[in-house]
Every structure is written in structure tokens, then in C-alpha cells.
Structure 1
């Protein structure tokens, strides 16, 4: 009967923040500053791509997805976390928790897919400069963008659909925010299928784009090496520099996140 009541309960309990006395308001102000700065920067970039006609080309059309994806991720995370900190509450509605987890996973899965699409565009621009306009047509570009968001949506939805077959018998989220692994721990029954599908989807979503990015940049490097003109190197740096910086920042953030998860264990 107790387990059954958990299934019908719509309120979940999140893990609590450990904040020193008097620290919640400085943390809230700092977090809001980061959130507003990110919103302004991403909206500015989106507006420039929309309003500036000279930016209406394949590279910027694909780049448009990156700040849009960032807005989804930071909006799904920071407002709820900051609200919990300043109000000192750790309750969340189950449906809101699922929505937050879905958006966070959409954000995480979309980053590498978008970067992979950007690497293909840079490959076409540097390795096939004479055929670039015929390769990266409007139809191809919007097809790539639709494929990126479509794959991201399908893979993430499959995570959550599999959970509907399992009853929920717990109500405590062992995390300060909602994600799919935390929600899966609330269910009862055999979760082997969920774990297998989750590992497979994660491997495809993370490994596939990473292999594409590495392959494309190896081809770009090979083209630059085989070309004796310094213009090729200059063009490669100008067109790929920003993309590589974003990719390196992503790797750094992922590494720090993994280290942060391992520190408590150590």
C-alpha cells in the first residue's frame, strides 16, 4: 500500500544543498548573473544571425542551433536550482521533474550532434571549396539541422518511454536536479532493458558525433598539409578556430563534471 501511494503521489523530494549560513543570497545573485549573462549572449547571437543578411549562409544556419540549445539547457537547470537555494525547499512536482530531465538530456545530447554538423560544414568549405555551394545547398543544410534535432529527440524520448512500463515506488531524488538515471531509481522492477538501451543510446549519441568530428578534422588537417599555400592554413584557422574552441570547452566541462562525480567516491 505504501508503494502504491508513492505511484499516485505527484510530489518528489530532491537532495538538499549544503550551503553555509548567509551564503544562499550571494549564491543566488551570482547564479542569476550567470543566467542573465548567458541569456543575453545567446539571444544576441540568435538575433544577429536572423537580422544580418551577410550571416545567412550554411555555417551560421547550423550555428544557430548551438545558442538555441544552450538556452534550453541553462533554462531547464538554473531557475529551478536557484529557486530551491533561496527558498530552501527541495520539493518538485513529478511532471515538472520529468520535463526538466527531458530538456537537460536534450541539451546534453544536442551539443555534440550540432558540433558534428558544424564540422561537416567546415570540411566541405575547406576540402571542397569549389563545390561548397553545390554541396551545402539550402535543402541539405535544413536537412542536416532537422536530422540533428530529430535524432536528439528520438534518442531522448526512448529513455523516458521505457520508464512508463515500470511502476514508481519511491519519491526521493538522490540529486539536486532531475535527470533520467535519478528518475529510473524511483521505479520498481527489472531495469535491465532500460540500462542496456540507455548505454546504447549514450554510446551512439556521444561516440558517433565524436568520431565524425575527429574524422572531419583529420581530413581538414590532411588537406592543409597537402596544400603548400599558406592561404589554406589561414582559411582553416579562420573557419575552424571558433568551432575548435567550443569543442575544447565542451571536453573541459565534461572532464570537470566527471572529476566532480568521482571526488566523493575517492
Structure 2
């Protein structure tokens, strides 16, 4: 008969299954990835703050994505790095720490969608209503969109975790590299029907709103581009929208992989890998994609390096 420990406040993290030979290599790869994420996202955020030419709605909204990536990676990767160097029996975490990490993890995943949705709205206004862009996308509107993106995510995730922490726990093993909502409610021996219903509804609503807004936005942008004979407008639309769309597809594919693999316990190792890649891949690629495509950012960096070279 299986032994149960009810409502224990000390949990064990399963973490990554790595051999002693590969432990330091995996540690080094994740550490380098974390450093890259922090340098790129902090760097591009500072550039946007420092350079007045970048005080545009598109870049100010993109700052939200950088902040989300910084919070998500900082709350997940350092803990993961420390666990890699410990034997499985010593990978312990308190229940409250796990709840906080799960909340931040789910918030990070949700804001990835909501922030990209408000960025899609910005691109729609810029291309479909260029003459009214400055009148619509005021500082007040940017602030409203930012608060909405974070506020909606905070409320939805708060309800999600609230339904989970009400459950009594009879297990202590978190079968994941880090804490998330699914790993937490799997510790319970009670019925989790309500959690599954809300979790499924939460996922469907978020993905429907996210994908639906992208399809609607890009359909209208495509129509405008096809009916317009302005080559400059079409070129600008292609450049900015392709950047946004690539970032969105990377995030969508990474998140969908985790959700799918959670339904197949036999692929737990692949799920753990995809969970880590969801943090690393978008976080490191987003600032690179926007930095390469942005003429203003390239110009600022060029002038900065030129001034250092002359000095």
C-alpha cells in the first residue's frame, strides 16, 4: 500500500534527470541561457528607456514582454540550476515557495499571450488607421493596455491557483523541473474536477482570444495592404508584422507543446525539456528578433559603438 503524507509543508522537486557525466554540461548550458536572457532583455529595456526616439507605443508595449521574460526566467532558472547540482533527495522546497513559483510561472505564460495581443492592436492601428495613430495610441492608452494585459492575467491566474490551494495534499513529489499549477493539484487525492474544468476553460478562452485576435488583426492588415498601392506602407507592414508574428508563433508553439505533453505521462522527460525551453527560447529570441528588425534600435547601437570607437 502506498504511504501518504497529508498536507506536508515540505515538498520534493523531481527536477531534471541528468547523469553525473552530463550534469555540469547541462548546468553550463542553462546558466549561459539565463545570462543571455537577462543581458538581452535588460539591455533592450534600458535602450528603450534611455533613447527618446524609442519612446513609441510599439517599443513601450514591447517592454512588457521583456519584463515578463525577466520575471519568468529569474523565478525559474536559478532554482533549477541549484537543483541540478543536488541529489534528488535534497531537492526540497516549501509549499508556500512552490505556490509562489507556480503563480509566477502561470502569470508569465499568460502575460506572454495578453502582451502580444495588445501589441497586435498597436500594429493594427498603425497600419489600418495611420492618420489617427497618434490620437488613438496616446500615453494614456498605452498605460490602459499595459494594465489590462497584466490585470487580466493576474485575475485569471489568481483564480486558477486559488482553486488549487484549497485542496488537501497527500503527496509530496513535484513531478516537474519547477512548480506550476498542474504539478500542484496533482499532489491532491481529492477530486480535481473543478480544477480541470476551470483549467480547460482558462486555456480555451485564452487561446481563443489570443489566436482570434491575431487572425482578425492580420486579416484586416492583409486586406489593407492588398487594396493599398502605397509600397512604403506595405513594406512597413510586412516588416513590423512579420517580427510580431514570429515572436507570437514561437511562444504559441512552445506553450502548446507543454499543454499537450501534460496529458501524456509517458512522455514526462519531453515535457520537462519543453517546459524549460518555453522559458529559454522565447526569452532569448524575442529581444534579438525585435532588435534586428528595428531601425531605431540598430541606429542607437551603431551611434553608441561609433562614439566609443572615436573616443
TM-score in terms of structure 2 length: 0.79
Change (3 A) 1:254 1:163: closer
- Inter-CA distance 247–134: structure 2 relative to 1 (3 Å threshold): same
Correspondence for 2:6: 6
1:79 maps to 78
Match in the other structure for 1:168: 169
Q: Is the 8 A contact 1:170 1:187 kept in 2?
A: yes
Give the Cα separation in 1 of the matches to 2:250 and 2:100: 26
Change (3 A) 1:134 1:16: closer
Alignment partner, residue 112 of structure 1: 113
CA deviation string 1:198-219 (max 9, x = no partner) = 1111211222122111110110
C-alpha distance in 1 between matches for 2:60 and 2:177: 35
Give 1:257 shift: 4.2
Q: State the partner residue of 2:243.
A: 242
For the pair 1:50 / 2:49, whether they are aligned, the reply is yes
- Paired with 1:221 and 1:72, the residues of 2 have a C-alpha distance of 34
Which residue number corresponds to residue 63 of structure 1?
62
> 2:129 and 2:75 mapped to 1: Cα distance?
39
Per-residue deviation, 1:120: 0.4
Mapped to 1, the partners of 2:199 and 2:253 lie a distance apart of 23
Q: How many residues align?
A: 263
Asked if the contact 1:112–1:210 (Cα under 8 Å) also holds between the matched residues in 2, the reply is no
Contact 1:62 1:145 survives alignment (8 Å): yes
Q: Deviations over 1:216-251 (max 9, x none)?
A: 011000100011221221110232232122112223
SS in 2 for 1:134: helix
Q: Where does residue 158 of structure 2 map in the other structure?
A: 157
Runs of 4+ in 1 over 4 A off after TM superposition: 255-263
Between 1:38-47 and 1:223-232, the stretch displaced more is 223-232
CA deviation string 1:10-58 (max 9, x = no partner): 1101225322232111211111111011100000011011111111111
Is the 8 Å Cα contact of residues 12 and 173 (structure 1) preserved in structure 2?
Answer: yes
Give the 3-state SS of the residue equivalent to 2:67 in structure 1: helix
**CA apart distance, 1:152:** 0.4
Q: Distance in 2 between matches of 1:85 and 1:254?
A: 23
Post-superposition shift, 1:115? Answer: 0.8
* Match in the other structure for 2:95: 94
Task: State which drifts further: 185-194 or 216-225.
Answer: 185-194
- Given that 2:61 and 2:115 are in contact with CA atoms closer than 8 Å, whether structure 1 keeps it comes out as yes
5+ residue gaps in structure 2?
269-311
The superposition leaves residues 70-110 of structure 1 with CA deviations (integer Å, 9 ceiling, x where unpaired) of 01111122111111111223221111111111111111111
Structure 1, 63-72 or 164-173: larger mean CA deviation: 164-173
Residues 116-131 of structure 1: pairs in structure 2 closer than 5 A:
116-131=117-132
Partner of 1:203: 204
Contact 1:81 1:176 in 2 (8 A): yes
1 CA distance for matches of 2:16 and 2:122? 43
The equivalent of 1:17 in structure 2 is 16
**Worse-matched range after superposition: 93-102 or 13-22:** 13-22
Q: Give the 3-state SS of the residue equivalent to 2:188 in structure 1.
A: coil
User: Residues 115-147 of structure 1, C-alpha deviation per residue, up to 9 Å, x if partnerless?
Assistant: 110010000000000111111111111101100
Alpha-carbon RMSD across the aligned residues, in angstroms, is 2.0
